Structure 1
């Protein structure tokens, strides 16, 4: 009975937030301080939005409380192009039944669950070491990209590592870094200004984050070491006979001067790999690039990472094209490339240099005669951009011109 009531509340919540222009809002799959995460499915896979995956994850919050999600959108836009970072397909604002404006971030859906789910499935035995290596390499590649762009994730943990089915291997997964709500810019200057608080989950915080509120790329490496240790052992990095409170964990990391315990039954290479992550003085901690070259990850093919499909268009680029056409048919816009310019529908001009020895394949002989007659009546305009040396003025009819697709981006707004 209680479960039925919870389902009814969840269904009502879904309906309240509303659907998008191209997608239906499905069941809730996650919830946090930022808002809620839902499954989303395309309304019409054959529509202009068919370039998107049929299933996505939508992270939603009321616009007035969506600052964290909007910042995540900005970060993901800057991190585009890395196959080890979760993809973002755009943003959209919907209106709920109660009139509330809801901000939605469309993200890649991790159908394999999270790394935390995977570890829990294997119990206290931990994952096979070969699988640990594959996941560790994927995470490091993503982390190296994040640090090169100038960001610090600040909340790296198994719950924020999403697993995707590997199309090249049956029942195998690839890891991608997600949840960038707490991500910050790394300090570029040598003079470090300490923040008034730390970001993240106590279990995975580094000593400098706990003691000095200092979170730069090395703090992500410490958290990554905690993840690898958890994958190998199936237990949290600060596992004890009893469950520790957040205050006790922070005391051990900070003033206690402790290091996570590495079991004796892990391989020698794995032990050395973890020691490079668990260095209390952050300036001596290994970087993501260094760890990628560690012998613990040797023997893995560079092709272990399945090739990513071609980058899909951003939802907001698609929405910009909708300003030209609202049809559900295939979109096309008969404009010339940017350097030719866009003119009126009655007259479409372009100019080219006489140095180009390209024959005009567009205008017919009849059109050439019409052009010559009209040029006789054209008065020279010294201020015109077409009246330049070695430039020839031409006119092409709308029926004979060759269409070229064009796409442009406009800021996201209320749909």
Structure 2
């Protein structure tokens, strides 16, 4: 028996389906939440939605990946026009996507501490994805969901409809639109070959971090027709000089022309690529005392014995101690007198 649901509001639309917020009126399964995000795809997008739910099933339990409810199978249904559709039930991000979340800040610029926290969370999610041998291929603020958590927020990666295995050629490739994912977040090699590699996601991460700092979408100054030629020449989004030094180094590494020079998500987390930005483990610095000059003649050490001071007493005669003897009390009897 299907649980009874109530439509709450429309959340958004992606390349392979739309997402709605629904409320469960009657829940036969206690595992179902009160609210959930339901992604609906038509028949022509079935393969993409099926691929996504299969990848999510392998990432079950990963804190930085959006989670599904149920047994990781698509639900069949019919839309208002009577056409067959397929649905996937996911956890609901109350704070929305990162893109809409940034709109609540002045000039869409996030605080630096939040940027570093969100960057760390994205890297943790990418480590899980890449470890399984997949590339997300469409990492962008719209596909990063923000979850309120006490006094802060948590970020999770979503929308794996464009994801491919490492080394796999993307069937999203098109002569007129030579991009694997969303153009402004794509790397130069994705334009040249269309083959999914892990370094592609790190370039996209750089674009996201740049946007969190500046509040501006990457390549906003470039016309769409000029974007592919710019990327094919190895150009990268402009990094403002006003950004902190460690942030600029981080972005320069993400935007390396040679994909191998970008390292890996694990390298960033360990601080092996850019120290200071990716929150490496704390290191204890010990400051050593300066060494004494060696050209000074050493004198033999002399041992000086200082006798202890005699105990100090107050002036006046010492009164003799008096011993007071107290008689012992007889032990209390535990017997009760009987008349």
- TM-score, normalised by the number of residues in structure 2: 0.74
Instruction: Say which of 106, 126, 129 aligns to 1:146.
Output: 129
Distance 1:129 1:298, change over 3 A: same
Q: What corresponds to 2:183 in structure 1?
A: 202
Q: What corresponds to 1:235 in structure 2?
A: 216
Alignment of 1:138-177 (within 5 A): 138-167=121-150, 169=151, 172-177=152-157
Higher helix share: 1
1:274 aligns with 2:251: yes
SS in 1 for 2:277: helix
Distance 1:97 1:277, change over 3 A: closer
Q: What corresponds to 1:23 in structure 2?
A: 5
Q: What corresponds to 1:33 in structure 2?
A: 15
Q: Quick one: distance in 2 between partners of 1:290 and 1:60? A: 37
Alignment of 1:33-182 (within 5 A): 33-44=15-26, 47-90=27-70, 91-96=74-79, 98-124=81-107, 126-167=109-150, 169=151, 172-182=152-162
Q: What corresponds to 2:297 in structure 1?
A: none
8 A Cα contact 1:20 1:92, kept in partner: no
Q: Quick one: distance in 2 between partners of 1:211 and 1:71? A: 25
1:223 aligns with 2:204: yes
Q: Quick one: distance in 1 between partners of 2:33 and 2:66? A: 13
Q: What per-residue deviation string (whole Å, max 9, x for no partner) do you get for residues 165-190 of structure 1?
A: 013x2xx2111001111011112xxx
Structure 1 residue ranges (4+ consecutive) displaced by more than 6 angstroms after TM superposition? 192-195
Q: CA deviation at 1:120?
A: 2.6
Distance 1:185 1:193, change over 3 A: closer
Q: Quick one: distance in 1 between partners of 2:44 and 2:280? A: 50
Alignment of 1:350-389 (within 5 A): none
Name the larger-Rg structure.
2
SS in 1 for 2:19: strand
Per mean C-alpha deviation after superposition, the further-off stretch among 139-148 and 21-30 is 21-30
Q: CA deviation at 1:74?
A: 1.0
Q: What per-residue deviation string (whole Å, max 9, x for no partner) do you get for residues 285-312 of structure 1?
A: 12101111222133799xxxxxxxxxxx
Extract unaligned runs of 5+ from structure 2.
Answer: 283-339
Extract unaligned runs of 5+ from structure 1.
Answer: 1-18, 302-415
Q: Quick one: distance in 2 between partners of 1:20 and 1:28? A: 21
Q: CA deviation at 1:193?
A: 6.5
Alignment of 1:251-290 (within 5 A): 251-255=229-233, 257-290=234-267
Q: Quick one: distance in 2 between partners of 1:193 and 1:100? A: 31
Q: CA deviation at 1:72?
A: 0.9
